[in-house]
């Protein structure tokens, strides 16, 4: 265990946008409980500057949470040319849905594609398994 | 020898040019389908088992227990339907009517408002075949078909040589993406045809576009390049057959549909524009149409068992009835709401007696009192389904299975009530 284990990990605020991914979708068709589905679902895509602010490197795991839920997912660079600090992308999945607010203003439609959460390093924590989300 | 073509039920494009190879009632090879379609047609690796109370059971016991749960419930919910044949959906509507249930589907929190407006003739639409043969300007707005509907561009909207579009994408078609992120579809459209707007900026961008189409200066609070909006307006004005493919990004961004109605009206003053809802599940539109024919509503209903009358509105949506804890049992057909709903809402669903009918194991099934495996639609059972454009498509059975179809299961549950 390194000295870093005793330091508080920096926490950043993020706006999260969800998207669809055909590879993840195909993995879902094969098995919602498969490794491939978890690998392609339990991820968050970040701006490189946010990765630095979190004091992590790509493919480290991060805790993403808000008052609706908490998941540990793998952090990846978004790969977008344009900078997007403070905005992160998650593929539509039970992991992203764990964080979607239930507030609808009476419309019956939650904000699946636009919600806020915080992220911080999980310090080597394991990705939340699909059965552990509940 | 004539070739046999089947329909892919991977999404609401319902591609009908699929060839398969089978061995011993297993689909071994799928030709022409996309990655998602191949995975769907080959079937899942973890099929659902027939269970009651977590223990393996025979189908008769499972149906009997399902009927008991629904009979004992004061306010049952029937939900799912997007991955069911129209025949099964009609049985489900009949069952809801008989037991006085809430009934809803996934359109309730996705494309529902757009489908409703189309069925009420508030939005001009067309078929996918019209797009293939005629469309010259195609806008993907909050939609990324390269991921959600992988053959949309190759079969219909961009690459094909249609009857009136013989020069295809190179000369005859202009594809435009309006989105908050640079999607794979935006990459295909190219830098000059990608309009990146801020989150929640869709309604304002629509207003600016209406200004540009009205020869006024287009203004946005996010200071989008006016020249680019004017240039886009000119492209849209010259369209002979334009289409806006509406994705969930746009649906979720609009608080109400007025800006879209205004834009479509303006576009049809200056050129000819159609709207295509980018429906996800293969027969979601079928459910909307079937319920609309029966009740005049596309979703979000509660039947009165004695009078057959319906109550309808936002308060009857699956999200609101679960948040209000108004339901005390649920029958889930071809859907996994514990995966697709916000966790804080899904938690309540996991606490009430659940019955799941599906070919594959899923999160909802793991919390269900009764699970009944059904045949995979379009592979192990036939029927009809409605494509995203409203065209009815016949599904053919490819292989045999011991599992009954969802239609058969619903018939048996209804009879057992």
| Contact across the interface for B338 and A108, Cβ inside 8 Å | no
- Considering the domain architecture, whether residues B234 and B265 belong to the same structural domain is answered as yes
| Contact across the interface for B342 and A29, Cβ inside 8 Å | no
Q: How many domains does chain B have?
A: 2
The residue-averaged pLDDT of B108-131 equals 96
| Contact across the interface for B40 and A29, Cβ inside 8 Å | yes
pLDDT higher than threshold 60 for residue B277: yes
Is residue A86, in this structure, part of any structural domain at all?
A: yes
Contact yes or no for A33/B361 (Cβ under 8 A): yes
- The yes/no answer to whether this complex scores an ipTM above 0.90 is yes
pLDDT at site B1: 58
Cβ-based contacts of A107 with chain B (< 8 Å): 255, 314
Is residue B154, in this structure, part of any structural domain at all?
A: yes
Q: Which candidate from B46, B199, B361 shows the least CB-CB separation from A114?
A: B199
| Contact across the interface for B343 and A99, Cβ inside 8 Å | yes
pLDDT at site A3: 60
Mutate to test the interface with B, among A69, A71, A109, A110 (most CBs of B within 10 A): A109
| Contact across the interface for A97 and B34, Cβ inside 8 Å | no
Q: Which candidate from B44, B45, B199 shows the least CB-CB separation from A17?
A: B199
Token pair, residue B64, equals 């009997």
Question: How close, in Å, is residue A73 to chain B by CA atoms?
Answer: 16
Cβ-based contacts of A17 with chain B (< 8 Å): 180-181, 199
Hey, is B245 helix, strand or coil? Answer: strand
Token pair, residue B183, equals 């999607």
The residue-averaged pLDDT of B311-326 equals 95
The residue-averaged pLDDT of B239-255 equals 96
Domain that holds residue A121: 11-132
Rounded CA separation B273/B139 (Å)? 10
Q: Which candidate from B39, B109, B147 shows the least CB-CB separation from A29?
A: B39
pLDDT at site B168: 84
pLDDT at site A6: 66
- Considering the domain architecture, whether residues B337 and B241 belong to the same structural domain is answered as no
pLDDT at site A81: 79
Q: Which candidate from B45, B196, B336 shows the least CB-CB separation from A30?
A: B45
Check which CATH number belongs to the domain holding A72 and give it: 2.40.40.20
Task: Determine the residue of chain B that is closest to A70 in CA distance.
Answer: B343
pLDDT at site B193: 97
Is residue B288, in this structure, part of any structural domain at all?
A: yes
Question: How close, in Å, is residue B281 to chain A by CA atoms?
Answer: 12
Is residue B384, in this structure, part of any structural domain at all?
A: no
pLDDT higher than threshold 60 for residue B268: yes
Is residue A120, in this structure, part of any structural domain at all?
A: yes
Q: Which residue, B221, B253, B277, sits at the end of a domain?
A: B277
CA distances A106 to A18, A109, B254, B315, B343, Å, are 22, 8, 15, 7, 18
Which residues of chain A fall short of a pLDDT of 50? none
Check which CATH number belongs to the domain holding B371 and give it: 3.40.50.740
The residue-averaged pLDDT of B361-381 equals 97
Question: How close, in Å, is residue A1 to chain B by CA atoms?
Answer: 34
- Considering the domain architecture, whether residues B75 and B128 belong to the same structural domain is answered as no
The residue-averaged pLDDT of B131-153 equals 98
- Considering the domain architecture, whether residues B176 and B211 belong to the same structural domain is answered as yes
Token pair, residue A49, equals 């500057």
pLDDT at site A5: 63
Give B50-66 pLDDT, tens digit per residue. 999 999 999 999 999 99
Mutate to test the interface with A, among B111, B190, B321, B339 (most CBs of A within 10 A): B339
Which DSSP string do the residues of B91-149 spell out, in sequence order?
HHHHHHHHHT-EEEEGGGGTTHHHHHHHHTT-S-B--HHHHHHH-SEEEEES--HHHHS
Is residue B19, in this structure, part of any structural domain at all?
A: no
Q: Which of B56, B165, B79 is nearest to B338 (CA)?
A: B79
The residue-averaged pLDDT of B311-335 equals 96
Domain that holds residue B315: 47-106+283-377+403-416
Rounded CA separation B217/B229 (Å)? 9
């Amino acid at each position: 265990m390194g000295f870093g284990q005793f330091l508080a990990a920096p926490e950043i605020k993020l706006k999260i946008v969800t998207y669809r991914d055909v590879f993840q979708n195909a993995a879902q068709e094969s098995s919602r409980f498969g490794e491939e589905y978890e690998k392609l679902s339990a991820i968050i895509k970040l701006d490189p500057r946010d990765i630095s602010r979190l004091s992590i490197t790509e493919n480290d795991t991060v805790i993403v949470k808000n008052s609706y839920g908490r998941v540990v997912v793998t952090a990846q660079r978004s790969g977008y040319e344009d900078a997007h600090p403070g905005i992160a992308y998650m593929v539509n999945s039970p992991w992203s849905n764990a964080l979607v607010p239930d507030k609808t203003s009476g419309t019956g439609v939650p904000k699946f594609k636009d919600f806020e959460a915080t992220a911080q390093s999980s310090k080597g924590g394991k990705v939340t398994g699909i059965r552990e989300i509940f | 020898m004539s070739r046999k073509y089947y329909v892919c039920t991977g999404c609401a494009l319902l591609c009908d040019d699929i060839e398969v190879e089978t061995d011993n009632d297993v689909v071994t090879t799928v030709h022409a389908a996309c990655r998602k379609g191949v995975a769907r047609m080959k079937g899942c690796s973890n099929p659902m088992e027939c269970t009651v109370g977590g223990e393996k059971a025979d189908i008769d016991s499972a149906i009997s227990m399902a009927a008991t749960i629904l009979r004992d419930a004061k306010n049952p919910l029937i939900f799912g339907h997007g991955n069911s044949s129209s025949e099964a959906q009609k049985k489900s509507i009949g069952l809801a009517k008989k037991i006085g249930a809430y009934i809803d589907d996934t359109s309730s929190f996705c494309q529902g408002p757009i489908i409703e407006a189309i069925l009420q003739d508030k939005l001009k639409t067309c078929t996918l075949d019209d797009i293939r043969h005629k469309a010259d300007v195609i806008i993907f707005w909050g939609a990324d078909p390269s991921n959600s509907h992988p053959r949309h561009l190759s079969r219909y909207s961009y690459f094909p040589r249609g009857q009136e579009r013989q020069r295809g994408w190179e000369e005859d078609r202009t594809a435009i993406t309006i989105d908050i992120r640079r999607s794979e579809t935006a990459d295909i459209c190219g830098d000059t045809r990608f309009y990146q707007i801020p989150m929640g900026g869709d309604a304002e961008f629509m207003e600016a576009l209406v200004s540009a189409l009205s020869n006024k200066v287009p203004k946005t609070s996010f200071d989008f390049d006016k020249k680019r909006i004017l240039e886009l307006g000119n492209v849209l004005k010259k369209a002979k057959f334009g289409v806006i493919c509406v994705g969930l990004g746009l649906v979720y961004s609009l608080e109400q549909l007025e800006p879209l109605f205004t834009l479509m009206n303006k576009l049809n003053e200056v050129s000819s524009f159609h709207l295509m809802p980018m429906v996800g599940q293969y027969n979601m539109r079928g459910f909307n149409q079937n319920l609309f024919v029966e009740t005049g509503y596309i979703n979000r209903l509660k039947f009165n068992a004695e009078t057959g009358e319906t109550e309808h509105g936002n308060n009857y949506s699956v999200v609101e009835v679960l948040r209000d804890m108004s339901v005390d049992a649920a029958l889930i057909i071809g859907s996994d709401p514990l995966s697709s709903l916000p966790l804080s809402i899904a938690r309540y669903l996991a606490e009430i007696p659940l019955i799941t009918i599906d070919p594959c194991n899923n999160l909802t099934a793991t919390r269900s009192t009764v699970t009944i495996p059904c045949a995979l639609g379009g592979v192990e059972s036939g029927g009809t389904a409605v494509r995203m454009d409203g065209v009815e498509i016949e599904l053919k059975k490819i292989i045999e299975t011991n599992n009954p179809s969802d239609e058969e299961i619903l018939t048996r549950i209804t009879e057992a009530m």
